[in-house]
Structure 1
Amino acid sequence: MATKSSAEIIRDGLWTNNPALVQVLGLCPLLAVTSTVVNAIGLGIATLMVLIGSNLSVSIIRNFVNESVRLPAFVMIIASFVTCAELLMQAFTYELYQILGIFIPLIVTNCAILGRADAFASKNPPLPALLDGAMMGLGFLAVLVVLGGMRELVGQGTLFADMHLLLGPMASDWVIRPFEHYPDMLFMVLPPGAFVGLGLLIALKNGIDHQIKERRKAAEPASTSAGSKRVRVTGTIS
């Protein structure tokens, strides 16, 4: 398998093949915990750590694992990194860990992580696998944060509330309240709001992709006609 260039790996993870907006993987935790930005960041960082560690480990052992035990070995590696992330959150962000609850251990079953281990890390050298894990994790984290910010702002009228749960006392006054006496919109905090918010983000991405495609199509005839003119001029001179 030909290794992708670094630019292609970065573009795939952040935009072209984003795990949440394109592959539509890991929706269970994505929809469940994105009621606030701090929850989204907490889960996103944990997922990013697991993706980086598992991709790197799978790539290192890819030539030493028998095909018959390949997937169980990958799951064991992912579970080990999830356990490390869980223990770190218990030690340093215990209140946030309690809020996220079962969705931290459930990272083991996140199809995006196992999919990257099987589809990319097991077929590429360590450095590209490490970059792929980082970019896929950052792409997933970005969607989590944007969706969490959208739901928190519309649902509660705040941004960055309870950031002290993740960053400690220094972030206790980071909360932003754009509107005074904002009436809470419970719909956006509940699961239906998560589905609506994610649908809007996917529609926005598809719209941007469509505009880019149309601009490229509009630019192609101009470049083609310029090329044909150069050919005609060259033929006349000769």
Structure 2
Amino acid sequence: MVPRRRGRRPWRLRRAYRLARTAVLTAVLVTVGMRCEGHRDHGAPQRAAGPRAAATATAGTEGPQEAEGDGPGGGGSGGAGADGERSGPRDGTAPAAPPPRPLPRSPAASLRIPSLGIDAPVTGIGLDADRQLQTPPVDKPKLVGWYRGGPTPGESGTALAVGHRDTRTGPAVFAALGQLPPGRRIEVRRADGRTAVYTVDKVRVFDKARFPDKEVYGPARRPELHVITCGGLYTRRTGYSSNVVVFAHLTSTK
């Protein structure tokens, strides 16, 4: 019996082809795995450096040493300490600037509240016969009164400025004072040419029958300014029922 002759195996089933195919697939898988690992390695430093770069841009630094926070006091709020933690406040806000130094004595010349469009001359005022704080003359509704017995602009203590809300002829200098929000500036130019810049802390309306003299007129350690005008309801017999008081403190000088 003549043995059956085996035909040649297709090339796809040959051993050499299978070995070559396995080697190629292995090489491809290894290459892809390295690329993925490399992408992860590059991604981590970028994410870690992101906040530092943002802080550097905010601080306006350019040199790499300042950006990295190297050296004593370097890097500002964008640097990091030796333990890797960020210096400065953890809530992302900039460190509070130190308070300005109080100014020597010099009388007020003019008062500006830019957000209200107020730019008014200032005159000195005192106390009347009943020891009540005087007001500027009624016939000069755009004039601001500055209490001469208290601090001048920028001096330590509680400075007092007074102005009318309105007169019989119409609105006066502080007609819109009650609308002044916290954070706005009050600039007082002095006779010596310098300017004391105050920032508004709060605005309060007090009934005249329960006016808090100590809170409004009491002494302060830092330079403060309290601006006073009329408020509340008006009647011809008693006038206004309340007072509007703006509380501000010195934040800069120029």
Instruction: Return the TM-score normalized by structure 2.
Output: 0.19
User: Whose strand proportion is higher, 1 or 2?
Assistant: 2
TM-score for both structures, normalised by structure 1: 0.20
Who wins on radius of gyration, i.e. which is larger? 2
- With CA pairs under 8 Å and 6+ residues apart, which has the higher RCO, 1 or 2? 1
